[in-house]
A and B are shown apart, each in its own frame.
Chain A
Amino acid sequence: MAVFSGYNLSCARGHRLIFEDLSFEIESGQILTLTGSNGCGKTSLLRMMAGLLDPFTGSIQWKGENTGSDFLSRNILWMAQETPLKPQLSVIENLQFLSCIMGGPSDKAAIQESLEKAGLGRFSHYPVSYLSMGQRRRTLLTLLYLVKRKIWLIDEPTNHLDKEGRDHLVNGVSDYVKQGGIAVIATHRPELWGSCTILDVSAFREGTKEERQAA
């Protein structure tokens, strides 16, 4: 029995199915990358895993039991493409707020330490409005190290990142899964994540069920 799994999932938007009959299984210490063309439902699948979107059919399970809101809020760290950083607040104030609501540490020393590790220490008291998109993304990714969770769900994490930022993130994810964590990453560049399981969400678009069964 897989640790984190989803079976026969389908996602509906209006009268259209984005994907259907999609299943996945992940063990602790694994990375699952979600690939596929734009609009194929990578983000929707991640949101389903996070419990932010109800599947049209199917279920998502942790050790064979359906995940409930209590499990999700204690074990999932969701990192969307949007950056929920308030431009008027400083980097450290934003992280204090986000870490606090996610149940992580909110003391400035711990946050400053994480920022130093991410190479953002000198920006900690800058208002977020002064930062570039890449720096904002890196600021947000600092949350991954502040808030301890069993599953990371990350949507297009390398957007706006330079090579240094990408390397830092890839190393961070690699260290996390080595310690037994599970990372699910929606990306157009699965090769960045080393030995990962690739799930092509496009292959599950509406009307492909018979093709897959025939194959």
Chain B
Amino acid sequence: MTPFNAILFKDLKSDFRHGGQFLFLPAFFLLIVMLYPLSLGANLKVLQTAAPGLLMIAALLASLLPLEKLYTDDMKDGTMDLLMLSPQPVSFYTGGKILAHWIIAGLPLVIMSPLMALMMGLSINWPDVLLIFIPATLLFVLIGQIAAALSLGARRGSVLLALLVIPLYIPVLIFGAGALDLLQTENPAKGPMLFLWAGLAFTLPVTPLVTTKLLKMQMD
């Protein structure tokens, strides 16, 4: 077993065995999406116009939920001390943590996204919806990791975390919603989709390194 796998499986097993906790996030996403038709009324045109932005906001809010506890448990119970004294690079830990976080908090949203788009009256091919939600959820996870490491140990950490992370999520929100909107109006959405994938290509290799550095600073 490599350290990367050890951390990945530890996080996944802990989450799946924690009294059905892995269902909370998809349920939250579904509930938020269900609230929109109830509040906006039965006018399909209004719903279709607002749907791209609303879907991305629902995914953003759902992505905020697991951030606070990402590193706090490992910090409190001393796991982080052992990791700092591990002969393996700490970026194995952050890399495993990022993948586990996306499987728990991003993948369910990706799987649900075509159905949620349909619920909101959007007529977009499901592969296109996936091509938007895969980079968007990954970016939510990656940016969230950096913010979680930054706010670790801070008083009122959850409030600080939300204040830190929401402005950083705005580009993802704009390009994600923009791509969905263009596809809905049958226009080419290559531009915003490429921005999302380019953002991912930049953030993916940088995040484990930045998070590791921040965690080490928090331990000093």
Contacts and interface: CB of A to CB of B under 8 A. Distances in A.
Interface stretch (A47-55, A169-177, A182-190, A199-207): A47-55
Interface string B79-92: 10111111110000
A127 B219 CA distance: 29
B85 A51 contact: yes
B93 interface: yes
B69 interface: no
Nearest to A103: B87
Contact of A54 (B77, B79, B93, B220): B220
A73 B86 contact: yes
Q: Taking each of A73, A86, A93, A106, which has the highest tally of chain B beta carbons within 10 Å of its own beta carbon? A: A86
A72 interface: yes
A178 interface: no
A89 B17 CA distance: 8
Contact of B14 (A52, A74, A89, A103): A89
B78 A82 contact: yes
Interface residues of A, number: 27
Given A96-B6, A101-B6, A106-B6, A72 B85 contact: yes
24 contacts: A51-B85, A52-B81, A73-B87, A74-B87, A82-B76, A83-B77, A83-B78, A84-B79, A89-B10, A89-B14, A93-B10, A98-B82, A100-B1, A100-B6, A101-B3, A101-B7, A101-B82, A101-B83, A101-B86, A101-B93, A102-B87, A103-B86, A103-B88, A106-B6
Interface of B: 1-3, 6-7, 9-10, 13-14, 17-18, 74, 76-79, 81-88, 93, 219-220
